[in-house]
Structure 1
Amino acid sequence: MPARSPLSLAALASAAVSGLEPMRTQLLDATADDIDTALIEDNLSRHWVVRAPRNNVASMRLDAESQLIGQLRSWLPFGMPEAEGVAPLRSGGRALVHRKLPGRPIRPLELLHRPTLATAYGQAIAAIHNLPTRLVEEAGLPVYTAEEYRFRRLAELDRVAATGLTPVRLLTRWEHAVEEVGAWRFIPCVVHGDLAGDNVLAEGEEVTGVMEWSETRVADPADDLAWVSIGATETAMGPVFTAYTAARSEPVDVDLRRRARLSGEFAIARWLLHGVHTDDSAIIDDAVQMLADLEAGVGDEPW
């Protein structure tokens, strides 16, 4: 279905939360392209976020996320998008409305100049990874063993190679990484799955909120360190990993940082796959350029 207008999203927010009278509405870019998202300011100067799925798959993801957040809210030291109201949709499913979380998105490079924030960021990721895995299992979300996850990466690599759009040196680098069995001996844990872009919020030197929990799973902890591993300098990464390691309840495996970098590189490959799947030439061109830049950056260095 086509994207909803700001007016229709404002109407959904008003229907979902008693006493919410929209005054201003601003469309927001969503992580998923099958969910319409808007920021609402009401007559009491309160700020809300409304999210409305466009199809049944997106609707199931939002419902699973909402159920999971209900179970996690007492375990984590930062805010999450906990629904305060829902509104049924004519197409089926429901729109969810939550308060806008305080803070602004963290950018990887700022961690270099703000070691206290880098420490808080590492501790926030550790708090997620320390969650009991049963919470994810009970929410019906994916659970992988280390070996299953390695095979998942292999299958993903095959799909990337089949596009014919990835530099050979990168494919060779990734093949060596995935085939090095010893580097994949990690203890699976709760993984957020999408700690990138605007999904981690900070105010001052503290992490105040984490958004977008629909990709949560029990899997490789390296995935949640991928974004900062590929976006920040090695110097900035030091405080993050030191704080993360100290705060983890389980031992951190010696290959975590290597797999985190690999996961960050794979994110570009997944962007390419998304473009191919949706037949979006703009996304494909963007991903091909990013892969070329990545190849130039890593050269012939081992993974």
Structure 2
Amino acid sequence: MARSPLTLAAAVTAAVPGARIAGARPLSAGGDERYDSAVATLGDGREVVIRVPVDEEAEHELASQVVALRALTPGVRGLLGIDAPEFLGQTSIDGVRAVVTTMLPGYQIDAGEIPPGEGAARSIGRALAAIHSLPASVVRAAGLQEHGAAEARADAAHVLDRAAASGHVPVRLTVRWREAIDDDRLWSFEPTIVLGGVGASAFLFGDDERGAPVVTGVYDWHGLAVEDPAIDLRWLSAAQTAEDDVIDAYADAAHRAPDPALRVRARLHAEMEFARWLLHGADSRRDDVVSDAAGLLETLADDIRDYGLLDELPRDGEVDVNEAIALIGRVPERAEQPHTPTAMETDAYSPEDLSFAEGSSWNEDADDDADDAEHRRQQEFQQTEPVELSGFEHGVLADDAEHDSDDRDDAGRA
């Protein structure tokens, strides 16, 4: 039975010393059926969120959320330009961890409802680019996971091998995914800090001065790691009308070289989520999950019949025009070189004294003739007759032999 908001709010006083509860209500934005959650209003008017996991998987996720939020120091938060919850405290309810964080204002937009163009779509792209631009030291200092391109590729291959062995993955998908995993063009990316594959529901929106929705905060940080940046874009398969604008805005705001395989890897991650769901059902011995995943895989195999996963990749050595322009835009402007004084710039000579008088100039024709004459003279000087070396070498060898003999005689007399 789910715990009531009043019960949860009462636990806030144990988690946050000195807190005084003035009211409680259910959590709407950011709610999750895997948690009992509520919003508690404190005596000073602030609102906080309390969450209690209802299963072991959610409990592990909540613990990861706490570690991630603690890693977001004030300095790191200042780099984001958007809000993230702050960890306030924790307590135990019936032996289960209860976590209290600050409340982030805003509303959510379902992936399929995100409008294209400037507004929500491009704002999401910029928000993700800011998160992915955080220094990797944020993750390393917190002891969170860090995976490179080779590890991401090996993990995808492992998931495919296990899923294919189950017999529930259509051959069309097995071949499609194997080709993508074997293609080196997909796996030369630069790992970044990621949210760990969150969906559209992780973003909270507010309206800007034009009334357009923009991202104001992200509340889901439990998957914070260094990983393939495409993993945070896999949910775009469910936001097809906004996909182009999210990725374009992301590419424009990212502080890295263009990644031509980003969209393809995002799609691959999205498709392979069905395989991971299948393995989750098998590992947890839930036949209903296995059956559900098998049905989803069959539907996916039919949907992608005429869609090649690697069709959007450029050929080897081929660079998209937009990518080339992006690269040029990232080349720093050449700093103005400091003037280095020359030997002529002394107190004995003034550069102005060496300049021509007004109206005077070089006789360009005479100068060209002089240059031509000098060039011909150097050519004539360099053109020599072949030298016969045989006699020369013979004489040198004879002289060397005579000198060696004289040296031995001098040594004997000594």
CA distance in 1, matches of 2:162, 2:72: 32
Shift of 1:88: 4.4
Is residue 52 from structure 1 mapped to residue 52 from structure 2 by the alignment?
yes
Aligned length: 295
Shift of 1:296: 1.6
Shift of 1:197: 4.6
Answer with 288-297 or 51-60: which moved more.
Answer: 51-60
CA distance in 2, matches of 1:255, 1:89: 46
Q: Which residue of 2 aligns with 1:202?
A: 205
Answer yes or no: is the 8 Å Cα contact 2:111–2:200 preserved in 1: no
Higher CA-based Rg: 2
Answer yes or no: is the 8 Å Cα contact 2:85–2:101 preserved in 1: yes
SS of 1:105 mapped into structure 2 = coil
SS of 2:78 mapped into structure 1 = coil
Shift of 1:140: 0.6
Q: Which residue of 2 aligns with 1:13?
A: 12
Shift of 1:59: 6.0
Unaligned 5+ segments in structure 2 are 208-212, 310-414
CA distance in 1, matches of 2:165, 2:233: 27
* Partner of residue 222 from structure 1, selected from 219, 230, 236: 230
Q: Which residue of 2 aligns with 1:301?
A: 307
SS of 2:72 mapped into structure 1 = helix
Answer yes or no: is the 8 Å Cα contact 2:117–2:245 preserved in 1: no
SS of 1:73 mapped into structure 2 = helix
More strand by share: 1
CA distance in 1, matches of 2:25, 2:114: 33
Against the structure 1 CA distance between its residues 176 and 207, is the aligned structure 2 distance closer, same or farther, given a 3 Å change threshold?
same
CA distance in 2, matches of 1:220, 1:201: 23
CA distance in 1, matches of 2:215, 2:180: 32
Identity of aligned residues (%): 34
SS of 2:32 mapped into structure 1 = coil
Answer with 68-77 or 201-210: which moved more.
Answer: 68-77
- TM-score under structure 2 normalisation? 0.64
- TM-score under structure 1 normalisation? 0.86
Shift of 1:155: 1.1
More contact order relative to length (CA 8 Å, sep ≥ 6):
1
Shift of 1:247: 0.5
Q: Letter of the 1:15 partner, please give it.
A: A
Per-residue CA deviation, residues 179-211 of structure 1 (Å, 9 max, x unaligned), is 112221001111111321521121232101112
Answer yes or no: is the 8 Å Cα contact 1:136–1:216 preserved in 2: yes
* Partner of residue 245 from structure 2, selected from 209, 225, 239: 239
**Mapping for residues 31-46 of structure 1, pairs under 5 Å:** 33=34, 36-42=35-41
* Partner of residue 86 from structure 2, selected from 62, 71, 82: 82
Is residue 173 from structure 1 mapped to residue 176 from structure 2 by the alignment?
yes
SS of 2:119 mapped into structure 1 = helix
Unaligned 5+ segments in structure 1 are none
Is residue 115 from structure 1 mapped to residue 103 from structure 2 by the alignment?
no
Q: Which residue of 1 aligns with 2:32?
A: 30
* C-alpha RMSD of matched pairs (Å): 2.6
Q: Which residue of 1 aligns with 2:109?
A: 106
